[in-house]
Amino acid sequence: MTDSTKQYAVQKSDAEWKAQLSPAEFHVLRKAGTERPFVGEYTDTKTVGVYKCRACDAELFRSETKFDSHCGWPSFYAPLAEDRVEYIEDSTLGMKRVEVRCANCGSHLGHVFEGEGYGTPTDQRYCINSISLTLAPA
C-alpha cells in the first residue's frame, strides 16, 4: 500500500521539514516515531475544538470524537472526515497494525485499532501522538 512516489498536496523535502519542525516533531511526524505515553500535551485534554495536523494545518479530528481510552495517548473514534487521513499497513515491531497518516502532507499521526470494546460509536481507537496535532479551540 505504501507508494513512495505518491504526491501530497503539501510536499516538502526533509530539509524543509527540519527547518519548520522541532527535532521531536520531525521524528514523530516525518520518521513515524512514537511519543512516550502519558506525556503528550493533549492526552487528557477536554477542550472543545478541532485538532489540526502540526505539519500542514489540515483539520484532522474533532474534540467531540475524543474519548478517555486511558492508553496514554489522545484517542479518537473517528477522523473529521475519511478523506483527511490515509491508512498504511505497518508490520514493524512484529505486529500487524494500521498506521494513520495525514492525507494532505503524508505525515505520521499514529495508529488505528478496532474491536477493543471501548463502546464508542465506531469501536475504533485512533491512537494519535499529541505532538502530531495542534488544537484550535472552538
Residue ranges that bind Zn ion, judged by CB under 5 A: 53, 55-56, 58, 102, 104-105, 107
User: Minimum CB separation from Zn ion for residue 19, in Å?
Assistant: 16
- Closest approach, Cβ 49 to Zn ion, in A, equals 17
Full 3-state SS string of 30-90: HHCCCCCCCCCCCCCCCCCEEEEECCCCCEEEEHHHEECCCCCCCEECCCCCHHHEEEEEE
Phi, psi of 57, deg, nearest 5? 75, 10
Residue 71 known to be catalytic: no
Could you say which of 53, 102, 105, 127 is catalytic? 127
Q: Minimum distance from CB of 115 to Zn ion (Å)?
A: 27
All residues at 6 or more sequence positions from 95 whose CB lies less than 8 Å from its CB, including other chains? none
Pick the closer one to Zn ion by CB: 2 or 91.
2
Q: Which is nearer to Zn ion, 20 or 120 (CB)?
A: 20
Nearer to Zn ion, 105 or 127 (CB): 105
Which among 109, 133, 95, 102 is positioned nearest to 9, based on CA atoms?
A: 102
Show which residues are catalytic.
127
